[in-house]
Structure 1
Amino acid sequence: MRPLRYSINITLDGCCDHRVGIADAESHAYWAASLARADALLFGRVTYEMMQEAWRRPPSGAWPDWMDESDRAFAQTIDDARKYVVSSTLDRVDWNAELVTGDLETAVRLLKDAPGSGVFVGGVTLPLALADLRLIDEYEFVVQPVIAGHGPTLFAGLVDRLQLELVDRQEFRSGSVALRYRPAD
C-alpha cells in the first residue's frame, strides 16, 4: 500500500495563503525532493487549477523568464507528475491528470492500494475531508517565519482531534522549519 502524504506551507499563525511566505530556492529544492517521494499527486479543483496556472510547462516548451533554476526544477517535478483531481464541477482534466469520481473514501483507498511509492495531497479543503476519513498517513508542514494575519487556516471544522507524532524536522537558512508527522493512533 502506498502512503498518502499531506504537505503544505503554513505561516506561524497557521495560515496557508500561497501569496504569503513565498518559497525560496532552498524550500523549492525541499519540495521537489518531497514530491519525488510520491508517484502521484491528489488535488481538489482549486489546488489543481492554481498549480496548473503556476507550474504547467507553457505550450512553447520553454519555461518563463521569471523562473530561476530552483523554480524550473520544482515546476518540472510538478509538470511531470501523474495527477488525480477530485471535483464535482469539472467535466474533464488534462495535464497528465484524471478525475476522481464516486465516493471519496473508496476512490482514495483504491489509489493508496495501487502499487507505487506514495500519493502526495495538497490544498486545504480536500485534506480536511481526508483527515476526517483518517486516510492521511503523513503530515508535512513547512512553517514559514511569517505572521500573515489573514487567509485560510488548516483543518477548520475537523470532526475529531488528531494526535500526531513527530518523525522528522529540518531547519532552513531562511528560518523556515519542515516538520513531518504521522498519526499517533
Structure 2
Amino acid sequence: MRTLRYSINVTLDGCVHHEAGLGPDAESMRYWTAQMERADALLFGRSTYEMMAAAWRRPASGAWPEWMAENEVPFAEAIDAARKHVVSSTLEQVDWNAELVRGDVVDAVRRLKDEPGDALWVGGVTLPRALADAGLIDEYEFVVHPVVAGRGPHLLAGLRRPLKLQLVERREFGSGAALMRYRPA
C-alpha cells in the first residue's frame, strides 16, 4: 500500500497562501525537488492543479521562462514529468500527465493508495483537509517559514477533530525555515 504525504509551505501563523512570502530558498528548493522526484504520483484538487500547472508546466517552446531562477528548474522538471491525479467535479478534462478523479474522493484515494508503489503526494488546502478528516494521510510534511502573513487560508482550517501527530523528522534550513514531518500518533 502506498503512503499519502501532505506537503506544504506554511508561515509561522499557519498561512498556506502561495503569495504570503513563502518563496523557498535554494536549500529548501533542493529539498522539495528531492521530494517531488520520490513521489510516484501527485494528487491535486482543481485549484491547486491549475495553479501548479500555470507555474511549473514546461512551456510549448520547451524553454523555461526567464523569471524562473536556475535553482527552480530541477523542481519544475520533476513536477512537469510527474504523474498527476486531479480531483474535480467541474473540469471536463486535464492534461499535463494527469487524469481526472471523479466520484467519492475518499474511495478514489483509497483505491490510489492500494495501487503498487511507494508514495503519493498531496498539496493544496481543501483536498488535504478532506483527506485528513477521513484519516487517509500517512505523513504531514510542513516547511515553516519565518514569516507572519496575518491573512490568507490557514493550514487544515475547518478540521472536524484535532489531529494528534508524532514528530518523526525536523531539519533547519539556512534561511531560518524549518522542516517538520509528522505521522499520526
**What range is the shorter-chain TM-score in?**
over 0.9
Q: Distance in 2 between matches of 1:147 and 1:105?
A: 33
Q: 2:157 — aligned with what? A: 156
Query: Match for residue 117 of structure 2?
Result: 116
Consecutive unaligned residues in structure 1, runs of 5 or more = none
Unaligned segments of structure 2, at least 5 residues: none
CA shift, 1:105, in A, is 1.1
Shift, 1:156, TM fit: 1.4
Render the CA deviation track for 1:123-165: whole Å, top value 9, x for unaligned: 0000000000000000000000000101100111111111000
| Residue identity opposite 1:59 in structure 2 | A
Match runs of 1:22-61 below 5 Å: 22-61=23-62
Structure 2 match to 1:76:
77
2:17 equivalent to 1:17: yes
Aligned length: 184
Distance 2:25 2:175 in 1: 8
Q: In the TM superposition, what is the alpha-carbon distance from 1:41 to its structure 2 partner?
A: 0.1
Aligned to 1:179: 180
In the TM superposition, residue 28 of structure 1 has moved relative to its aligned partner by 1.0
Partner Cα separation in structure 2 for residue 99 and residue 180 of structure 1 = 28
Backbone CA RMSD of aligned residues = 0.7
Q: Report the equivalent of 1:4.
A: 4
Tell me, in whole angstroms, the C-alpha distance in 2 between the residues paired with 1:32 and 1:39: 13
**2: CA distance, partners of 1:45 / 1:157:** 19
Q: Compare 154-163 and 81-90 and name the one that shifted more.
A: 154-163
The residue correspondences of 1:65-144 to structure 2 (distance < 5 A) are 65-144=66-145
Q: How many Å separate the matches in 1 of 2:12 and 2:28?
A: 16
Identity percentage of aligned residues: 67
Q: What is the CA deviation profile of residues 95-114 of structure 1, one whole-angstrom value per residue up to 9, with x for unaligned ones?
A: 00000011111100110011
In the TM superposition, residue 68 of structure 1 has moved relative to its aligned partner by 2.3
* TM-score, with length taken from structure 1: 0.97
Distance 1:73 1:39 in 2: 17
Q: Provide the rounded CA distance (Å) in 2 between the counterparts of 1:24 and 1:165.
A: 27
Q: CA deviation at 1:37?
A: 2.2
